[in-house]
Every structure is written in C-alpha cells, then in structure tokens.
Amino acid sequence: MTVNQYEIILVNLDPTIGSEIQKTRPCVVISPNEMNHHLRTIVIAPITSTPKKYPTRIRIDYQEVKGMVVIDQIRTIDKQRITSIIRRLETKVIEKIKQTIKETYVK
C-alpha cells in the first residue's frame, strides 16, 4: 500500500504495552515520502478523541475525523497495520504539526 506524508490513515495499533495509545484508530503519516514509498515501515502520530490541553496535541476537525493529533506518541509501524487511507490533511494543520514537532523534538 502506498501512503503519503500528512495523510490520515486508519491503523490497528494493537498489541500495545503500558500507556501506548491502542486499538484501531486514525493516525497521521509523519514520515517523508522518500521513506513511505520505499520502506515497509512508516512513522505515524495517532489521533485521539479524548481532548487534553497538552502542548503536544493538535486539534483536527473533519467530517470523518475529529480529535487531537498526539505528537507525544509518535511511533513507527509496519504498513501491514494500515486498514485504509482516509484523506490528506489541510495545509494549515500540516504547518501546525510541523511546528509542534520542531518545538517538541528539536532543541
């Protein structure tokens, strides 16, 4: 399956351990297309419907997906976990994700 950066995809995250976000849920593809198109793994940020005002959470509100992108739970998954591709994010949300990743992980 070919996925692209900043698409929302449906992913089965189970099994998990401890405080990792679990179950089948929408996620945002974070890894660049150079990786997405050639590797069997991709990097994703899960989306949760449980709102928490953390600086690492970004609100999204689309018809089929409402919730928060969880930048503090970024993880690498095998493409076998992908159930379907939902849609691409809007530019304004992509820019907010990029800024939050930079603020969180690049010092």
Kindly report, residue by residue over 37-89, the tens digit of the pLDDT: 999 999 999 999 888 889 999 999 877 778 999 999 999 999 999 999 999 99
- Phi first, then psi: give them for residue 22, nearest 5 degrees: -120, -175
Across residues 98-105, what is the average pLDDT? 95
**Cβ-contact 40, 34 below 8 angstroms:** no
- Phi first, then psi: give them for residue 40, nearest 5 degrees: -85, -5
Kindly report, residue by residue over 14-24, the tens digit of the pLDDT: 998 998 888 99
Q: Which CATH class is domain 7-105?
A: mainly beta
User: Residue 53 corresponds to which tokens in the numbers above?
Assistant: 């005002």
Distance, CA of 19 to CA of 13 (rounded, Å):
12
More confident residue, 107 or 29: 29
**Residue extents of the structural domains in the chain:** 7-105
In this predicted structure, what is the pLDDT of residue 53? Answer: 86
pTM: 0.92
Distance, CA of 70 to CA of 78 (rounded, Å):
19
